[in-house]
Amino acid sequence: MANEVQADGTQNSGFVFTVSAVSALAGLLFGYDTGVISGAILFVQEDFRLSTFQEEIVVGAVLLGAMIGAAGGGRLADRFGRRLVLVQVACLFILGALGTSLASGATLLSVGRVVVGIAIGIASFTAPLYISEISPAHIRGKLVSLNQLMITIGILVSYLADYALAASRGWRWMFGLAAVPGLILLIGLLFVPESPRWFVKQQLRDRARAVLAKIRNPLAIDAELAEIESSLTQQEGSWRELSSPALRPALLIGIGLAVFQQFTGINTVIYYAPTIFQLAGLQSHSAAILATAGVGTVNVLLTVLALELLDRAGRRPLLLFGLVGMIFSLVFLGAAFLAENPTPALAWISLICVMAYVACFAVSLGPIFWLMIAEIYPLKLRSRAMAVATMFNWGSNLLVALTFLSLLRALGRPATFWLYALVGLVAWVFVLRMVPETKGKTLEQIEAAWRSHTT
């Protein structure tokens, strides 16, 4: 595809795809490093004789680090540029992987996991941010969601690594292996250009033009530069602007989707799937782990489908459709747990419900939260606003992780899953009333639409 020019103004789409895929390796690390703990903790707990409290700290450290990373990362991406921040993040990932794999005790391990968390927190929004800014509008959904695809692959690989290394109690390897994709990301980034939109924001027009010359039809470059520049003249870039009547809906949508993505309970499945299956009657350890790998595979496959659908069906229909599926799966899962005793039938029903739930998440809230926060904010505020939404996402993630087991005890299994279903219902109404369609529009057109609603 060396220098192919498409009718829509994109040139060299193979290069844009490769550059997006390299950046999306950050997603692979996000998925791997959040997933790996589920298997590793069993051995860490025994080797370091952790108390329950220490165990919770080791497990929660990544989520805490991710909140810190998101909080600080917005300013970094503005100041140093998207690419350089990804380089820094890749170094942190490698450092964290080596540090955790060599840790001599619980405290050092927790510190290492916080470092990994900081990297995840920054990477989780910087990769979608970068990809959205280099993508042509008509395939932006697909390219940005490569990051979500990598997250799901990372989670699956972490399950498999945990499984393969369990026999040798190889928790140090489980953590250390993440250095490999970290290194590939670092090397790959050497060949990746900076975001042309960031260059324009920094008033480096010539450098922006040089990047666009690599990825766009020469005849379309001036128009794109003019569009970015004219949209910049309308932006203040202050926090006050983000809460102005024009942009307040965008702020609310980012935070709302962040919270709903987590409060509908996805990570109870991602982090606790074996527990759920054992409660439902899958007695053996290996059956529960196998079922979990099945869930990870469904997550990957349906995300591939989402990549194909996002730029065709659009974001809104997928969100609305996926949420309905998630709500029904959760209602049935809860109902299945009304049974007094675990039976093989219950085990099967719960497995089917969990798979259906993950499948529906994978075509809706999974990719679309990260995609939309990369689309709906004006350039001058984009990275900081994304960082805010991302912080809410990790904060909600932490809250769900900390409360799931207590909720099961306090409310019982059926009511716990119905509670997540209820949140799904509120999310559905929220999407119906608040979330705009962004399919096929340039980032500047999306911004103009916010302003035109208030004038």
Positions touching ligand BGC (CB under 6 A) are 148, 151-152, 155, 261, 266-267, 270, 299, 366, 370, 393, 397
Q: Quick check: 387 and 74 in contact, CB under 8 A?
A: yes
- The least distance separating ligand BGC from the CB of residue 393, rounded to whole angstroms, comes to 6
CB of 121 to ligand BGC, least distance (A): 11
Q: Which residues pair with 5 in a beta bridge?
A: 11
What are the residues facing 11 on neighbouring strands?
A: 5
How near is the Cβ of 389 to ligand BGC at its closest, in Å? 11
Please report how close the Cβ of residue 85 comes to ligand BGC at its closest, in angstroms.
19
- The whole-angstrom separation of Cα 330 and Cα 419 is 9
- Which residue number, 228 or 270, has a Cβ lying nearer to ligand BGC? 270
At residue 216, φ and ψ (nearest 5 deg) are -130, 160
For ligand BGC, the closer of residues 148 and 350 by Cβ is 148
Q: Shortest distance, CB of residue 156 to ligand BGC, whole angstroms? A: 9
Q: How far apart are CA 390 and CA 99, in angstroms?
A: 25
Is residue 97 within 8 A of residue 175, CB to CB? The reply is: yes
Measured from the CB atom, is 66 or 211 closer to ligand BGC?
Answer: 66
For residues 163 and 293, is the Cβ–Cβ distance under 8 A?
yes
Task: Please state the separation of Cα 452 from the chain's center in Å.
Answer: 30
Distances in whole angstroms, Cα of residue 373 to Cα of each of 60, 158, 274: 25, 27, 32
3-class state of residue 375 by DSSP: coil
CB closer to ligand BGC, 100 vs 397: 397
Choose between 58 and 155: whose C-beta lies nearer to ligand BGC.
155
Q: Which is nearer to ligand BGC, 186 or 318 (CB)?
A: 318
- Report in angstroms how near the CB of residue 30 gets to ligand BGC at its nearest: 8
CB of 146 to ligand BGC, least distance (A): 13
Count of Cβ atoms closer than 10 Å to residue 220 Cβ? 16
Of the pair 126, 299, the CB lying nearest ligand BGC is at 299
Q: Which residues contact 7 (CB under 8 A, 6 or more apart)?
A: none
Among residues 370 and 428, whose Cβ is nearest to ligand BGC? Answer: 370
DSSP-derived secondary structure for 320-352: HHHHHHHHHHHHHHHHHTTSSS--HHHHHHHHH
What per-residue string of b and e applies to 433-443 under the rule 16 or more CB within 10 Å gives b?
A: eebbebbebbb
Exposure letters 344-355 (e unless 16+ CB within 10 A, then b): eebbebbbebbb
Output 263 or 430, the one with its CB closest to ligand BGC.
263
